[in-house]
A and B are shown apart, each in its own frame.
Chain A
Amino acid sequence: MIKNFHKKFLVLFGIAFFIFLLDFGPFFTGLKYLFQSLSNPIRGRVYQINQSFLSQTFRSKAAKGYFLENQKLRAELSRCQGKAISSQQIFDENKRLRHLLAMPLPPDLSFSDAKVIGSQGDYLIINRGARDGVEEKQLVLVGNYLVGRVERVSEKQAKILRVDSIKFSTPVLIFRDDPSCFSQNQLCQQGKGVTHGTKVEQILREESVVEGNLIALLDGPGGILVGQVVKVSESSDKVFLEAKFEPLVNFSKLTEVFLVR
C-alpha cells in the first residue's frame, strides 16, 4: 500500500518535472499563448471589478474614506504637476524672449529655416542640404541660442554637431546674467575660455567666473548665447579654471532651427 503510494507520487512528480524541463523549449508556447488569450479578458474584467466594486463597496467605512481621499489627492497631484509643467514652459519661453529682446542678433544676419528630422548621438539631422545652399561650418540657432554647427552636408540633408558635444570647440566670452550686460557683454565680462563638450576650459585663475554667468560666442556674430555656467572648478593641472555649463537649448524638444547665412 505504502509502496504503491510512493510509486504513484513519483510517477506523477516525474511527469510534472518532465513538463517543467520541456517548457524550456518552445513546445508549450502556442498552448500558453492560447490560454493567455483566453484568460486575459477574464483577468482584465475581474481586475476592473476588483478595482471599482470591491474596493469601494466591501471595505470598512474608514478604509473607503481613505480610498476616496487617496483618489482625490492623486487627482490634485496630477493637476499640480500639469500646472508646474506649464509654468516651467512659460518660464523658459520668458527667459528666451528676454534674452532675445535684451540681446538682439545683428540686423545684417540672414537666416534660413530647417526642420529637425532626427538625432544621431552628438548630431542632429535637418531636412536641408547642399541643394538648399547649406554649407559646412554654418552656425545653427534657435532664437539667439546656439544649437551647433553644420558638420556634414549631403544633397537633401545636413548633420549638425551639437554644442554640448565633446567634438565641438569654440572660443567663448563669459559675462554676468544681468539685463544691462546683454547689449554690452564685453563690459560685464567675467572671463574668456574655450568650450570643450559642456566645459569651458582655459579660463584664467584671476577671472571671477561664478555660477549663473552666461556664455556667449566670441568668434562670429555677436549676441549668440551658448549656455549658462553651473559649476566652476580648478583644472586638473591647477593652472586654469574650468566652468561646467548647461546648454540653453533643450535638444529633445527641438523641431525647427535656423541656419545663419
Chain B
Amino acid sequence: MKNFLSKIILFLRRNILGVLLTLSVLIQGVLTAFPFSLILLVVSSYFWEERIFPYALGWGLFLDFLLGGHLGIQAMVFLGVSFLTLAVKRKILGKEKEKLKLPYD
C-alpha cells in the first residue's frame, strides 16, 4: 500500500502539469466556461515542446466530448495554441541561444 502510494506521488510529481491539465479540462467541460485548460496548455507546451501535440489532440477531443459540441474543434484549437506557443518560444528563445555569450554578460 505504501509502495503504491509512493508510486502515485512520484507519478504526480513527474506529471503534475498533465494531471493539472486533465483536471482543468474536466472543470472546463463540466463547471465553467473559463478556459483554464488553454492557459495550462500554454505552460505545458513551453516545457514539453513537441511532445505536447498528441496530448493536445487527446485533451481537445476529450473536451469536445464533455462539452457535447462538434467534435474536433477544441482539438484543433488546442493543437493550434500549442503550435503557436512553440513557434513563439523558438522565435524568441531560439535567437537568444544564437547570441554570442561574452564573459562580461
A interface list, Cβ under 8 A from B: 2, 4-5, 8-9, 12-13, 15-23, 28, 31-32, 35-36, 39, 42-43, 46, 50
Contact = CB atoms under 8 A, between A and B. Distances in A.
Contact of A20 (B49, B50, B54, B72): B72
Nearest to B29: A39
Interface in B43-78: 49-50, 53-54, 56-57, 60-61, 65-66, 68, 70-73, 75-76
A32 B70 CA distance: 10
A18 B79 CA distance: 14
B83 interface: yes
B8 interface: no
Interface string B1-28: 0000000000000000000000000000
Contacts, number: 64
Given A16-B76, A20-B73, A42-B30, A32 B50 contact: no
A23 B66 CA distance: 15
A23 B53 contact: no
29 contacts: A5-B49, A5-B86, A8-B53, A9-B53, A9-B83, A12-B53, A12-B54, A12-B56, A12-B57, A12-B79, A13-B80, A16-B57, A16-B61, A16-B75, A16-B76, A16-B79, A17-B76, A18-B72, A20-B70, A20-B71, A20-B72, A20-B73, A20-B75, A32-B71, A35-B65, A35-B66, A42-B30, A46-B30, A46-B31
Contacts of A15: 57
A19 to B, nearest CB: 4
B76 A23 contact: no
Contacts of B53: 8-9, 12
Contacts of A23: 70-72
Nearest to A23: B71
Main secondary structure of the interface of A (DSSP, over half): helix
B79 A13 contact: yes
Interface of B: 29-31, 49-50, 53-54, 56-57, 60-61, 65-66, 68, 70-73, 75-76, 79-80, 83, 86, 90
A19 B60 CA distance: 12
Contacts of A22: 71-72
Given A16-B60, A23-B72, A5 B65 contact: no
Contacts of B65: 31-32, 35, 39
Contact of A13 (B30, B71, B76): B76
A188 to B, nearest CB: 64
The 5 closest A-B pairs by CB, nearest first: A20-B72, A23-B71, A16-B75, A19-B72, A35-B65
Contacts of B73: 20
